[in-house]
């Protein structure tokens, strides 16, 4: 049908409501986008910023090694050596199908001495990105792992703690765990100083791994090295002699402490049995204990010089005083105090030389108990020594108002209290330096602590002179003599307490100072539970004292003070005491 030329063509008109609806939807979407953008950018941008940083920000740490530990002369006792650790990225291993090459994994397991199934179980989870396969490997093993070239298995540089002196200084130095954290001894006490703080660098990388922005740089705090008071030459000599004595007498254990009487520095502290901190695979728990500071025992006759000192301080006794110890025993409070034999009449030097229990008991019962206890406290019994090593025992001093006469008598010959080997050495250091007590130190000190005067200097020197009778003919400690030197000391033998009384095990002791004319060092020796019939301190501990004392005098270059009638060889010239002067 034809359309008329003049007829108008009608066009559809847009619906007004539909247009407004569409426009509103567009406006709402735009508003939502703007609001969301504003919320993300202004109100809460942290989450997306965090997500972005996870993908672009990296942190690099400086690698710093643990500080060294040296003896007083700079000999290294603990050092950190570079080593490698093998680690794996399980995701890379699975992505690159590394597990299909069974021969390489078998070779890796064999070099680690690990079952291959155990090794593969560590990398079976592809979601993990880091696992250790083997820590602290040798350079040869690291080179072998590198040559295996297993995709996803890499080497990481670390440091391993090494102890050049091994078992000799193990109890003093302590040890660290596999992550380099101190667990015991000096390693634990000074862990913060030895560790330091590694520096770090935060930076941003682009998609190609290029550094585009430095965010933060923190300087590292370098670790400090520790210089101990130990003289490794004396330490080695003491350990060798102690180990030999413990083995020879089939003893359970033993300890030796050597102190500088003027500064309170520990020149040697050794124990047997010990352990090798470089190989801990077969180490038993009891070997880790520093017995010189942790094991306490009744000191026996080694405290008798304190009774003599208090007797002189009281004014009731003088150097010429004599006591009758006949018939070699006495009854105190219904119980017997006795000597090995009837010593008859003895002066104060004789009481020490013959180690008369009857003599010291008579003196103690004649003194004021509080004054005697105060003398014991004055040398450090019942308190810490100030050395600040882990596991130190303070020993035990009884605190009670009433003491029976027998308890007072027993106290005079070293029963009813307990001390450690370190405390015993401190007691003799106090006597040797003129009655001054100062805190003991395991660190080398430039300026020693001033200390506190606890005894009259003249009386302390007199007691040291009286103790020389112990090592002369007729004394109980003649085996403690050191050629060319005057020795002042005291033997001690105590039975070990058990439930309900005392058993059949003994502790043999010898402690003293030398040279007696001008004391430089104090040495305390403890042999615990020797087997057989030889158990007296003068028999088993005194020879250890003598050998250590002789070597210490030579190491410290201390001039002899007992050359009468002796031959002295100096620079190829042989002569007597007169010729050597």
Asked if the peptide bond before residue 415 counts as cis, ω within 30 degrees of 0, the response is no
CA separation for the pair 154, 132 (Å, rounded): 10
User: 316: which residues sit within 8 A by CB, 6+ positions away?
Assistant: 366, 367
147-152 — which CB contacts under 8 Å span 24+ positions? 148/104, 148/107, 148/108, 150/93, 150/98, 150/101, 150/104, 150/105, 150/108, 151/92, 151/93, 151/96, 151/98, 152/88, 152/89, 152/90, 152/91, 152/92, 152/93, 152/96, 152/98, 152/123
CA separation for the pair 216, 212 (Å, rounded): 13
Q: Give the three-class secondary structure for 119.
A: helix
Do residues 311 and 367 touch, judged by C-beta distance below 8 A?
A: yes
The answer to whether 314 is a known catalytic residue is no
CA separation for the pair 464, 458 (Å, rounded): 10
* Residue whose pair of structure tokens reads 């040798």 in the numeric block: 138
Catalytic residue among 301, 355, 356, 418: 301
* Residue whose pair of structure tokens reads 């765990």 in the numeric block: 177
CA separation for the pair 307, 313 (Å, rounded): 10
Cα–Cα distances in angstroms (integers) from residue 126 to residues 54, 89, 131, 145, 153, in the given order: 20, 8, 11, 21, 14
CA separation for the pair 435, 376 (Å, rounded): 13
CA separation for the pair 343, 324 (Å, rounded): 8
Residues that are catalytic = 301
């Amino acid at each position: 049908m034809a359309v008329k030329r003049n007829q108008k063509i009608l066009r559809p008109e847009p619906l007004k409501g539909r247009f407004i609806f569409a426009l509103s939807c567009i406006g709402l979407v735009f508003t939502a986008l703007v609001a969301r953008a504003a919320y993300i950018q202004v109100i809460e941008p942290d989450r997306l910023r965090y997500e972005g940083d996870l993908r672009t920000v990296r942190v690099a740490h400086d690698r710093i090694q643990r500080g060294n530990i040296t003896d007083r002369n700079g000999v290294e006792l603990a050092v950190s050596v570079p080593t490698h650790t093998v680690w794996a990225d399980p995701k890379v291993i699975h992505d690159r199908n590394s597990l299909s090459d069974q021969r390489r994994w078998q070779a890796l397991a064999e070099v680690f001495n690990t079952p291959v199934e155990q090794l593969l179980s560590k990398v079976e989870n592809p979601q993990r990105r880091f696992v250790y396969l083997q820590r602290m490997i040798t350079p040869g093993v690291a080179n072998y792992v590198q040559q295996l070239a297993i995709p996803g298995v890499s080497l990481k540089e670390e440091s391993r703690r090494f102890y050049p002196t091994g078992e000799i200084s193990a109890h003093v130095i302590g040890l660290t765990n596999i992550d380099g954290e101190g667990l015991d001894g000096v390693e634990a006490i000074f862990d913060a100083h030895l560790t330091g703080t590694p520096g770090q660098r935060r930076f941003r990388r682009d998609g190609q791994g290029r550094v585009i922005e430095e965010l933060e740089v923190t300087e590292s705090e370098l670790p400090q090295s520790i210089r101990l008071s130990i003289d490794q030459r004396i330490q080695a000599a003491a350990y060798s002699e102690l180990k030999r004595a413990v083995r020879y007498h089939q003893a359970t254990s033993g300890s030796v402490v050597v102190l500088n009487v003027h500064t309170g520095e520990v020149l040697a502290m050794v124990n047997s049995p010990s352990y090798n901190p470089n190989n801990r695979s077969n180490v038993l728990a009891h070997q880790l204990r520093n017995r010189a500071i942790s094991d306490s025992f009744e000191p026996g006759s080694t405290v008798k010089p304190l009774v003599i000192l208090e007797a002189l301080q009281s004014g009731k006794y003088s150097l010429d005083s004599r006591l009758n110890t006949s018939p070699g025993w006495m009854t105190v409070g219904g119980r017997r105090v006795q000597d090995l034999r009837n010593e008859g009449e003895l002066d104060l030097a004789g009481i020490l030389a013959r180690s008369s229990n009857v003599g010291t008991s008579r003196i103690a019962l004649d003194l004021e108990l509080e004054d005697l206890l105060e003398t014991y406290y004055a040398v450090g019994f019942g308190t810490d020594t100030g050395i600040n090593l882990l596991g130190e025992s303070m020993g035990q001093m009884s605190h009670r108002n009433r003491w029976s006469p027998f308890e007072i008598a027993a106290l005079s010959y070293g029963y009813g209290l307990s001390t450690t080997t370190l405390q015993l050495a401190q007691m003799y250091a106090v006597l040797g330096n003129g009655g001054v007590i100062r805190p003991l130190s395991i660190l080398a000190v430039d300026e020693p602590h001033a200390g506190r005067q606890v005894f009259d200097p003249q009386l302390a020197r007199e007691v040291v002179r009286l103790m020389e009778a112990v090592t002369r003919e007729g004394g109980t400690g003649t085996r403690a003599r050191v050629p060319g030197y005057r020795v002042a000391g005291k033997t001690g033998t105590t039975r070990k307490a058990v439930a309900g009384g005392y058993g059949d095990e003994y502790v043999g002791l010898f402690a003293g100072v030398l040279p007696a004319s001008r004391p430089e060092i104090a040495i305390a020796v403890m042999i615990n539970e020797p087997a057989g019939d030889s158990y007296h301190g003068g028999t088993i501990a005194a020879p250890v004292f003598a050998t250590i004392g002789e070597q210490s005098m030579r190491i410290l270059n201390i001039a002899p003070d007992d050359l009468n009638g002796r031959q002295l060889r100096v620079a190829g010239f042989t002569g007597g005491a007169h010729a050597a002067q």
